[in-house]
Structure 1
Amino acid sequence: MSEIAVRHRVRAAVFAAKVAAVGPDQWSNPSPCEGWTARDVVGHVVGMHAAMLGPVGRSLSRAPSVEEDPLAAFVSACADIESLLADPSVAARPIETPMGRLSAERHVDQVASADMVLHGWDLARATGQDDTIDPAELEAMWPAVQRIPPKMRIPGAFGPGIVVYGPEVEVPGDAPLQHRVLGLLGRDPHWSA
């Protein structure tokens, strides 16, 4: 199993645990993502998994919808991505992405896999769970989040309705690393419903 596949599997397990811990009455809770509920956060993550499959001629397997069963929908989408990552010829296939030409597996790693880390925080905040991001993830994210291009913060720059990162949220320079990362990603680390 490649390093990218292992990283996706670990991140998916962490995100799945958060999805599983959401109470039945919490799915409509607002999230730190403006206009999104807790269910919408999971729907977005599942949708990003689907978006990784399209460029290699695949699609999500038949599964319950996020509306019917968020956990089952997420687990099924992850299995589809794991199948892509397990096939070396598909994983290595070059595809065009908003970030340039990448292998399918690098696209998964930089988008759908990485998304689970940030959106895991969103889901945790929306539903009152532990929102601590793994310190190793934060350390790995820190160099890149300091160099987010301004275009990535422009709503609709990559298509109608697509917002990659919101405006930077000012965070003190001596704040914990998690707060600084979240601020650069457009999140208020002190957000609450």
Structure 2
Amino acid sequence: MALSDLGPADRHRRIAGAFTDRVRAAKNWDADAPVAGWKARDVVRHLVEWLPALLAGGSDVRLPAAGDVDADPAAAWQAHCDAVQAVLDDPATPGRTLSNPHIGELPLDQAIDRFYTTDVFLHTWDLARATGQDDRLDPEFCAMLLGGMEPLDEMLRASGQYGPRVPVPADADAQTRLIGFIGRDPFWTPA
């Protein structure tokens, strides 16, 4: 089944599973990452740290502390990933709400899906590139995300969450165009 056809819990399970595979196979957590100033461990740190604050500030969900990313990035990721999956698997979650001044009010599962799970998907490329692993992302999901993000280009750039768009060849595939859109050089390799 295509990623776009899945509900929030199953989509997170698949996307987080692909990220988890990269986490488990990572050998050098101090390797440079495609995000300026980040190391491989910082990709994990980012994902582990931002969602708990968003949820605590706009819902009744309090995720447990994931652990020390510096001491054990894989353990911190797994604890965090499991906690997010438990929230999404809870049958009460779709009836809960996330309220945020920047995104408004959304059903909790949809908010996690739209903002967090998508972020995990995109950062899978970062971690894979940093650690020399398979960086291929689901092409259909890349195309769908890009199609949804392009009309919001100005707003997304203004949010500070994305760097300047990186130009790519006109005939580039959906993944290359998406990576360039979010401000990464799709041809980046570690020094």
TM-score band by shorter chain is: 0.7 to 0.9
2:92 is paired with a residue whose SS is helix
Residues 1:96 and 2:99 are matched in the alignment: yes
| Distance in 1 (alpha carbons) for counterparts of 2:85 and 2:91 | 11
Residues 157, 163 of structure 2: 8 Å contact kept: yes
Residue in 1 aligned with 2:170? Answer: 173
Structure 1 residue 18, shift from structure 2 partner: 0.3
| Distance in 2 (alpha carbons) for counterparts of 1:111 and 1:118 | 11
Alignment of 1:37-76 (within 5 A): 37-54=39-56, 55-76=58-79
Structure 1 residue 180, shift from structure 2 partner: 0.8
Scaled by the length of structure 2, the TM-score of the pair is 0.87
Structure 1 residue 93, shift from structure 2 partner: 1.7
1:148 is paired with a residue whose SS is helix
> Which among 167, 185, 188 is matched to residue 185 of structure 2?
188
Residues 1:121 and 2:125 are matched in the alignment: yes
Listed as ranges, the gaps of 5+ residues in structure 1 are 158-162
1:95 is paired with a residue whose SS is strand
Listed as ranges, the gaps of 5+ residues in structure 2 are 1-5
Number of matched residues? 183
| Distance in 1 (alpha carbons) for counterparts of 2:95 and 2:162 | 27
Alignment of 1:20-31 (within 5 A): 20-23=24-27, 26-31=28-33
Q: CA separation of 1:183/1:152 partners in 2, compared to 1, >3 Å: closer, same or farther?
A: same
| Distance in 1 (alpha carbons) for counterparts of 2:52 and 2:65 | 12
Could you report, residue by residue, the CA deviation over 1:71-120 in whole angstroms, capped at 9, with x for unpaired residues?
11111112211222223333322222322221111110011111111101
> Which among 89, 95, 110 is matched to residue 106 of structure 1?
110
> Which range moves more in the overlay, 117-126 or 169-178?
169-178
Could you report, residue by residue, the CA deviation over 1:130-187 in whole angstroms, capped at 9, with x for unpaired residues?
1111123213212112223413213xx4xxxxx3111111112211221111111111
Q: Percent identity?
A: 38
Could you report, residue by residue, the CA deviation over 1:20-53 in whole angstroms, capped at 9, with x for unpaired residues?
1111xx2111111111110000000112332353
Structure 1 residue 66, shift from structure 2 partner: 1.1
Scaled by the length of structure 1, the TM-score of the pair is 0.87
> Which range moves more in the overlay, 134-143 or 37-46?
134-143
Residues 1:18 and 2:22 are matched in the alignment: yes
| Distance in 1 (alpha carbons) for counterparts of 2:182 and 2:60 | 31
| Distance in 1 (alpha carbons) for counterparts of 2:32 and 2:135 | 15
Structure 1 residue 17, shift from structure 2 partner: 0.5
> Which range moves more in the overlay, 36-45 or 48-57?
48-57
The answer to which structure, 1 or 2, has the higher relative contact order (CA under 8 A, 6+ apart) is 2
Q: Output the amino acid matched with 1:191.
A: W
Q: Output the amino acid matched with 2:136.
A: T
